[in-house]
Amino acid sequence: MSRVVRVAGGQGFWGDWPEAPRRQVEGGPVDYLMLDYLAEVTMSILQKQKERDATMGYARDFVGAMESVLSAVAERGVKVIANAGGVNPEACAAAVRAMAVKAGRPEALRIGIVTGDNLLPRIDELLAMGHELRNMDTGEPLSVVRDRVIAANAYIGSTPIVEALAQGANVVITGRSTDTALTMAPLRHEFGWGAAEWDKLAAGIIAGHIIECGAQSSGGNCLHDWRNIPALADVGYPIVEGSADGTFVVTKHAGTGGRVSVPTVTEQLVYEMGDPHAYITPDVVADFTSIQLEDAGADRVRVFGITGAPATDKLKVSIAYKSGYKAVGSLVYAWPDALEKAQVADRVLRERLDRLGLKFEKVLSEFVGASATHGRLAGDAGRAAPEVQYRIGVRDADKKKVERFTREIVPLVLNGPPSVTGFAGGRPKVEEIVAYWPALVDKSVVQTQVEVR
């Protein structure tokens, strides 16, 4: 049998199950543990933390995760790859190092640090060079919101991670590398795939897509046959068993709950999908219409046939900018006529906002239990609903107006329609909105650095 490399997915986002990393390295053989911490808005949160404290700005959960897998790394040679570095990979590495020292095993870790993705200090230089960083959705140039930008990171690919592994790192910490590169890089490193072996690189990217959302490919959030998916309390996170030819098997550790089947893997493949013919990454353009899936036994799905096309000369840039304020509050109305009472409350509240002369960029009312998620498709909730949650939100550039709005909800408990409860939280809090600005930049302007220490 040809050699397989096992890459285990241990976190699908910052806030995922704290038990998962340890379970992945203790439940059976794995070579690499892949931990994905970054969503589109995470970088801006981390940037704010770093501005308050120069030693912060990374996914702090990662330190605990590393502690939970330290013996597997030290004694069994499991390697860890994570984009936990956020906007401060050096500080993240220092925190992991400090944890290892405290645990008495400083010699166990060779930490590779990948930097160069952070473009925030270079934005004005890039604009001056003629890079407009236009919004990929709206076409507007970044200059429109330049003074409100708080984070800007290029999505970087597998190459610097492969370099760190080649230099002997057993823990690789990156900033904004793509989620999929965290899985593809170890396969590329182990099998020596070249930078132009498009089909194999595409296979590695698709392996990454399948395990980057944790248990979402192994039975979690799975609609198909959901009642019969076994033992979700004990769910096994997904593992890729990669082969040199680019084919791989998706599985999970024996004895865990959940399920790996063609339907569970297919649901994850279509998750957040755009044009399936062109899944663009820094390394390769993968073709999801080439993917073949085959049942390969209990909780095993074989994946093969994947093709890819040459990478583009651009990198996507994730830019975060301040975009006003919002607040959302809610009340719960009970039977009888719960929906009608909630609708009356909405009319009363909106009339009061009008009388105060408060106009907002957006006001959105929802009736949870009747129509909040499926709108008119949900049909008539009728008079029988045991309760309906009235949920109203506003958004505006003017913080004072949003604050004034938050004082108008709770009074309805005493001066609006009856049978109302669920106001325990009091006034809702005003949140500053950090919005997302996707852009493209020439690859040639982004230089990544790798340091192993």
Partner 1 sequence: MRVRLTDIAHARSGDKGDTANVGVIALRPEWYPLLSQHLTRDRVAQHFEGIIEGGVDRFELPNLKALNFLLHGALDGGGTLSLKTDAQGKVFSTALLRMELDVPDAEARALGLPAAT
Query: Which range in 29-37, 323-331, 336-344, 416-424 contacts partner 1 by CB under 8 A?
Result: 323-331
Smallest CA-to-CA distance from 213 within 261, 272, 167 is with: 272
DSSP output for 337-406: SHHHHHHHHHHHHHHHHHHTT---SEEEEEEETTTTTTGGGG---TTT-SEEEEEEEEEES-HHHHHHHH
CA distance 325 to 61: 28
Under the binding rule (CB under 8 A), the answer on residue 142 touching partner 1 is no
Between 198 and 288, CB nearer to partner 1: 288
Strand order in the sheet with 285-287: 279-280, 285-287, 307-309
Under the binding rule (CB under 8 A), the answer on residue 271 touching partner 1 is yes
Smallest CA-to-CA distance from 103 within 111, 92, 95, 91 is with: 95
Binder of partner 1 out of 1, 128, 233, 377 (CB under 8 A): 377
Smallest CA-to-CA distance from 211 within 189, 181, 256, 166 is with: 181
**Residue 204: CB minimum distance to partner 1, A:** 18
Q: Where are the beta strands (DSSP E) in 120-247?
A: 149-154, 171-174, 239-243
Instruction: Tell me phi and psi for residue 259, to 5 degrees.
Output: -160, 140
Under the binding rule (CB under 8 A), the answer on residue 376 touching partner 1 is yes
Under the binding rule (CB under 8 A), the answer on residue 449 touching partner 1 is no
Between 28 and 438, CB nearer to partner 1: 438
Query: Which range in 15-23, 60-68, 335-343, 431-439 contacts partner 1 by CB under 8 A?
Result: 431-439
Binder of partner 1 out of 438, 443, 451, 452 (CB under 8 A): 438
Site string for partner 1, 102-131 (x = CB under 8 A): ------------------------------
**Residue 438: CB minimum distance to partner 1, A:** 7
Query: Which range in 194-202, 339-347, 368-376, 401-409 contacts partner 1 by CB under 8 A?
Result: 368-376
Binder of partner 1 out of 74, 372, 445, 452 (CB under 8 A): 372
Task: Look up residue 111 and give its amino acid.
Answer: I
**The CA-based dihedral angle spanning residues 369, 370, 373, 378, taken in that order and rounded to the nearest 10 degrees:** 130
**Residue 453: CB minimum distance to partner 1, A:** 35
Structure tokens belonging to residue 320:
């975060």
Smallest CA-to-CA distance from 50 within 42, 40, 39, 61 is with: 42
Between 289 and 444, CB nearer to partner 1: 289
Under the binding rule (CB under 8 A), the answer on residue 424 touching partner 1 is no
Q: For residue 274, count other CB atoms closer than 10 A to its CB.
A: 9
Binder of partner 1 out of 27, 28, 141, 276 (CB under 8 A): 276
Residues near partner 1 (CB under 8 A):
40-41, 137, 221, 223-224, 263, 266-277, 288-293, 305, 323, 326, 328, 362, 364, 366, 368, 372-377, 391, 393-395, 433-436, 438
